[in-house]
Amino acid sequence: MSKPITIRDVKTITTQPEGQRLVIVKVLTSEPGLYGVGCATFTQRFHAVVAAIEKHLKPFVIGRDVMRSEEIFQMAMVSGYWRNGPVLNNAISGIDQALWDIKGKLAGMPVFELLGGKSREAAHVYVHADGPTPKAVTENVKGYLNEGYRYIRVQMGGYGGRPGDLPKPEGAPPGAYFDPRAYCRNMLDMIEYVRSEVGFEVELLHDVHERLQPIDAVQFAKDVEPFKLFFLEDILAPEDLEWFSRIRQQCATPIAMGELFNHPREWQPLISGKLIDFLRMHVSQMGGLTPARRVADFASLYGIRTAWHGPGDTSPVGHAANLHLDLWAPNFGVQEWCRFPEHVYEIFPGTPEVRGGYMYPNERPGLGIDVDEKLAAKYPCEDFVEAWTQTRLPDGSPARP
Instruction: Looking at the structure, tell me whether residues 164 and 310 fall in a common domain.
Output: yes
Q: Is 236 part of a structural domain of the chain? A: yes
State the catalytic residue, choosing from 209, 309, 319, 324. Answer: 209
Q: Is 40 part of a structural domain of the chain? A: yes
Instruction: Looking at the structure, tell me whether residues 97 and 128 fall in a common domain.
Output: no
Final residue in a domain of this structure, among 95, 110, 125: 110
Final residue in a domain of this structure, among 110, 135, 152: 110
Residue 209 annotated as catalytic: yes
Instruction: Looking at the structure, tell me whether residues 97 and 193 fall in a common domain.
Output: no
Q: Is 313 part of a structural domain of the chain? A: yes
Instruction: Looking at the structure, tell me whether residues 313 and 278 fall in a common domain.
Output: yes
Instruction: Looking at the structure, tell me whether residues 360 and 236 fall in a common domain.
Output: yes
Kindly give the pairing relationship between strand 335-336 and strand 123-129.
parallel
State the catalytic residue, choosing from 159, 206, 282, 324. Answer: 159
Final residue in a domain of this structure, among 75, 110, 145: 110
Instruction: Looking at the structure, tell me whether residues 96 and 132 fall in a common domain.
Output: no
Q: Is 381 part of a structural domain of the chain? A: no
Instruction: Looking at the structure, tell me whether residues 46 and 178 fall in a common domain.
Output: no
Instruction: Looking at the structure, tell me whether residues 104 and 180 fall in a common domain.
Output: no
Q: Is 322 part of a structural domain of the chain? A: yes
Residue 324 annotated as catalytic: no
Q: For residue 16, what is the domain's CATH number?
A: 3.30.390.10
Q: Is 2 part of a structural domain of the chain? A: no
Tally of domains within the chain: 2
Q: For residue 243, what is the domain's CATH number?
A: 3.20.20.120
Instruction: Looking at the structure, tell me whether residues 130 and 90 fall in a common domain.
Output: no
Instruction: Looking at the structure, tell me whether residues 322 and 335 fall in a common domain.
Output: yes
Instruction: Looking at the structure, tell me whether residues 15 and 149 fall in a common domain.
Output: no
Instruction: Give the C-alpha distances (Å, rounded to integers) separating 401 from 156, 203, 208, 234, 393.
Output: 16, 26, 10, 11, 11
Instruction: Looking at the structure, tell me whether residues 186 and 69 fall in a common domain.
Output: no
Q: What is the pLDDT along the chain (401 residues), one digit of tens a residue?
A: 689 999 999 999 999 999 899 999 999 999 999 999 999 999 999 999 999 999 999 999 999 999 999 999 999 999 999 999 999 999 999 999 999 999 999 999 999 999 999 999 999 999 999 999 999 999 999 999 999 999 999 999 988 887 667 888 988 898 888 899 999 999 999 999 999 999 999 999 999 999 999 999 999 999 999 999 999 999 999 999 999 999 999 999 999 999 999 999 999 999 999 999 999 999 999 999 999 999 999 999 999 999 999 999 999 999 999 999 999 999 999 999 999 999 999 999 999 999 999 999 998 999 999 999 999 999 999 999 988 889 999 898 998 88
The whole domain housing 221 covers: 114-366
